[in-house]
Structure 1
Amino acid sequence: MKIQKEIIEFEKGKSFKLFAPSLKNCFFWHYHPEIELVYVEALNGIRHVGKDISGFTDNELLLIGSNVPHLNFDYGIQTECRQLVLQFKENFLQDIILPIPEFENIRLLLERSYLGLSFSGETKKQVVEKLHNIKDKDSFSSLIGLIEILQILAGSKEVKELNNEDTRIKWFLNDKIRMGTIYNYIHENYNRKPNVNEIAMIVSLSTPAFCRYFKKQTNMTFTDFVNNYRINQSKIFLLKNSSVTEVCFQAGFESLSYFNKLFKKHLGETPSEFKKKHLNKIEIN
């Protein structure tokens, strides 16, 4: 469960691939030299790209640069989840496109992708439609479609940088601790009282050393991470139509007022507002 290098193979005569992976309960904390565009649809999920750990609701479109560690986006999702992943070689545009002035915006986009880029709004809608369109096309038409997608992303203002520093693999290579062990511990204990001393002992660190390590890896304290995970889980419960009070205690919070306050701080709306906003537009399976 240590960080893994994914070996990506391309069909002969192709410099990119578009596919629909499904890993679900597999914890795949990995990196690869190839640049990746991911679209995922789910009621709720976790995105962990570089140091950024946050949740998404409904769907997410991300561009992840070369050698940036990330977790598979269907990890831990118990409801229906669909993904489209487009991977292309780090340098496949270098000789043909990058020297051409008209593709300057695409060059800048790819250079910036090491931060992890999340796209929203009309940009996301257009790109997803094009991803579906190029799925069954011949190689050349798909390549033209990919360039069009990159041009849309390059010109978009509907983008958020997930990291504010370089988190490529060179930064993570000295990590000997298994992040998967920490994720599993929190997942199994978030609705009780996760104990920092206990998890520190599990991964063979003193508590102060674990706290330093965890803050360095995630830019969060252990307590903040647990609360973030609880908020993410509470969104799942709310989307299953549980009451706010039920969700509060299901997610491990002991105070309804604190749960409401923290939820609003994270999402900008109360649990009731979130539930009303999202429950009407999804179909629970």
Structure 2
Amino acid sequence: MKLHLLDRSNRIKNSSFTITENRYPFFLKIWHYHQELELVVIQKSTGTRFIGDNIEKFNVGDVVLIGKNLPHMWLNDKEYFEEDSKLEAHALAIHFKEDFAGQGFFDMPEMNAIEKLIDKSKYGIKFSGDLTLIREWINNLRNLEDFDKVIKFIQILNNLARHKDYKLLSSNGFINSFKMTEKHNLNKVYEFIIKNFREQISLADVADIACMNPSAFSRFFKRVNRKTFSEYLNEVRVGYACKLLIEEKYNISEICFESGFNNISNFNRQFKKTMKYAPTDYIKFHAQRA
């Protein structure tokens, strides 16, 4: 799964930001990034959301802000790819540059909350709680005249900046190391992990991709990510397991192997280490919040 840089400069050239309505049988399976920030509202469809090294289920109504140059992909569930499927993937996406309102605009004291929001977006942000008004504003944004559209969008960002119920998605280690990928080939390592985490992956496999010997790669990876390669891989697998547990399509034993673990005891141990819950307790915890 190759990482693609998407050039949106032509689309955004004649406006300060763009609003795109995406309607497909399924979202395009492209692991990609771009210089623009992206605010997404899922109107219809379900699946798995990949943002940096975060893997979670996505649902109708989700509101997510993705920072510039942060790799991401929306992968619909299997039934969307069936030949006779009549399902639809539908989302609204707003793309904008950090300085879309003018150089230094968000440096003003009155814009401090939005400036912080933009900074946090480098991790990816999933908003929760009551987002009814924000979704309504985003849905109606395309119907406004140019001036009113810009004012309303700034209002949307301000509302999101002051929204208390949110979650940062990607890890600090991924963000820091992704900045160094051109020099150290870590980008290819992340691509390989996301494509193959359900299979058995060895340190030697990824060291070879990074063009380093295993010992040197192990030291480098830990220095950059502040965790070992095996810890990183287990966290990716646990993230995918969380998505499967929430879907309730498989039992825990099946999820263990579907996520890339080779025995149930190790799965339980790694899951609890990462999530602070055993898998069964995680299901109960999520059911209470649903």
Paired residues of 2:57 and 2:243 also in contact (CA < 8 A):
no
Paired residues of 1:248 and 1:255 also in contact (CA < 8 A):
yes
C-alpha distance in 1, partners of 2:206/2:229?
10
Post-superposition shift, 1:146? 0.7
Equivalent residue, structure 2, for 1:54: 54
Change (3 A) 1:221 1:79: farther
Paired residues of 2:47 and 2:75 also in contact (CA < 8 A):
no
Post-superposition shift, 1:74? 1.3
C-alpha distance in 1, partners of 2:272/2:49?
18
Of 227, 235, 238, which residue of structure 2 is paired with 1:228?
235
Amino acid at match of 2:240: Q
- Aligned: 1:9 with 2:10: yes
- Aligned: 1:36 with 2:43: no
**Residues 169-248 of structure 1: matches in 2 within 5 Å?**
171-172=179-180, 174-177=182-185, 179-180=187-188, 182-184=190-192, 187-188=195-196, 190-215=197-222, 218-238=225-245, 239=247, 241-248=249-256
Q: Which moved more, 1:90-99 or 1:260-269?
A: 90-99
Count of paired positions: 272
**Residues 242-281 of structure 1: matches in 2 within 5 Å?**
242-275=250-283
- Aligned: 1:45 with 2:49: yes
C-alpha distance in 2, partners of 1:269/1:131?
36
Equivalent residue, structure 1, for 2:72: 72
Change (3 A) 1:265 1:85: farther
Paired residues of 1:27 and 1:75 also in contact (CA < 8 A):
no
SS at match of 1:227: helix
CA RMSD for the aligned pairs? 3.9
Equivalent residue, structure 1, for 2:165: 158
Paired residues of 2:70 and 2:122 also in contact (CA < 8 A):
no
Unmatched tracts of structure 1, length 5 or more? none
Amino acid at match of 1:14: S
C-alpha distance in 2, partners of 1:167/1:230?
19
Paired residues of 2:48 and 2:57 also in contact (CA < 8 A):
yes
Amino acid at match of 2:72: N
Amino acid at match of 1:264: K
Post-superposition shift, 1:267? 3.3
Change (3 A) 1:275 1:8: farther
Paired residues of 1:23 and 1:72 also in contact (CA < 8 A):
no
- CA distances 1:76-121 after superposition (whole Å, capped 9, x unpaired): 86565554321123323236954765444334434x3464352433
Once the two structures are aligned, what percentage of the paired residues are identical?
22
Question: What TM-score does the superposition give when structure 2 sets the normalisation length?
Answer: 0.72
Amino acid at match of 2:262: E
Of 19, 29, 38, which residue of structure 2 is paired with 1:25?
29
Q: Which moved more, 1:156-165 or 1:228-237?
A: 156-165
Paired residues of 1:123 and 1:152 also in contact (CA < 8 A):
no
Structure (1 or 2) with the greater helix fraction: 2
Unmatched tracts of structure 2, length 5 or more? 81-88
Amino acid at match of 2:57: T
